[in-house]
Structures are given as C-alpha cells and as structure tokens.
Amino acid sequence: MTVNVEDESGLTLPGIDTKETAVRVIEAALDYEGCPYEAEVNLLLTDNARIRVMNREYRGIDRPTDVLSFPMLTYETPSDFSAAELHEADSFNPETGELVLGDIIISVEKVTEQAEKYGHSREREYAFLIAHSMLHLLGYDHEAPDEALVMEQKQAAILESLNILR
C-alpha cells in the first residue's frame, strides 16, 4: 500500500504521527471493506484558506470544510471493485500495480477546531476524517439519511477496530 502524504499547512497536530495514523486508518478501511488489491491514496494536509478555495472551485461552496474526497473510481455499488478490473488501464498505477483510489484533502485547522468542539482528541478527529473520506473513495455517500447511517456505522467500526475512540 502506498500513502503519499503532503503537508502544505505549515501547522502541526502535536503528538500525532500524521503519516502513520493515515496508513493505519486507510489500511483498516480497506480491510473492513474487503479490498482485494494493494492500493494507493494521496493525502494533502492544508489550512482553512486553501481548502476553502478548493471547496468553492470543486463544490461551489464558498467556505472552509474539514475534508474533501476525490475518488478515482466509479462504483456500481460501494466497494464493488469489479469496475476497476473492467477499466484496468485507468484504475491501476502501471509502476506499482496498485489500485489508485484517489485524493483526500484535510484542513489541519478544522481537525483542531472540531476536536475541541466535539470533546475528543485531535487524533480521533484526524482518523475520523480519513475513515470518512476513505468511504467516499470506496463509493459511499451520505446524501440520503439511510446512506448517512451506513457511513456512520462503518466509520465507527473502522475506528473501533483501531481502538481510536471518542
């Protein structure tokens, strides 16, 4: 598995090894969803100003957000990897053979703000945002209430499997 982490935020999350935590959560999400391939994920850590620009550009929402997800695959149903096999040339990194899942962008400022707001650790908030985004990269969404419930249950299970609790 390859997790490319780039930190352009200039900010810190004291006590958190951002790459190690990301790798653990991504791996747990892939295991939980039964991904049969080694995978590649890109993670960008940024600040509120930069994520606001991206949120406006890609979603038409002019405010900072906590996390953005940019999946590389389109799924018939979430975590159904058969589409990747059908479009193999576009789905796998030709150098590594890994399934390219997409990009996660996280506002480090939002991690800190939301950890304080929700009364849990920055590590828990950071891990939660990665688990949430991974589910998006695997085809899940939360537009409808039943979809949101599925995502919430899966996020909780992934974090519980790592003993990252509120």
Per DSSP, which regions of the chain are E strands?
Answer: 2-7, 39-46, 67-71, 99-107
- Which SS3 state, helix, strand or coil, does residue 109 take? helix
Distance in angstroms (rounded) separating the CA atoms of residues 110 and 130: 13
Using DSSP, state whether 154 is helix, strand or coil.
helix
Q: What residues are paired with 100 via a beta bridge?
A: 40
CA atoms within 13 A on the CB side of 24: 17
Distance CA 6, CA 21 (A): 14
Q: Is residue 11 pLDDT above 80, yes or no? A: yes
pLDDT confidence of 90, banded at 50, 70, 90? confident
In this prediction, residue 151 carries a pLDDT of 97
**Confidence band, pLDDT 50/70/90 cuts, at residue 87:** confident
Residue 49 pLDDT: 98
Long-range contacts of 117-120, Cβ-Cβ distance < 8 Å, separation of 24 or more: 118/166, 119/166, 120/166
The CB density around residue 53, as the number of other CB atoms within 10 Å, is 13
Is residue 31 within 8 A of residue 99, CB to CB? The reply is: no
Q: Does the global pTM surpass 0.85?
A: yes
Residue 86 confidence (pLDDT) above 80: no
* Average pLDDT, integer, range 103-126: 97
Average pLDDT rounded to a whole number, residues 123-130? 98
Mean pLDDT within 57-79: 96
CB 55 within 8 A of CB 62: yes
Helix (H) or strand (E) holding 54: helix 48-59
pLDDT at residue 124 greater than cutoff 80: yes
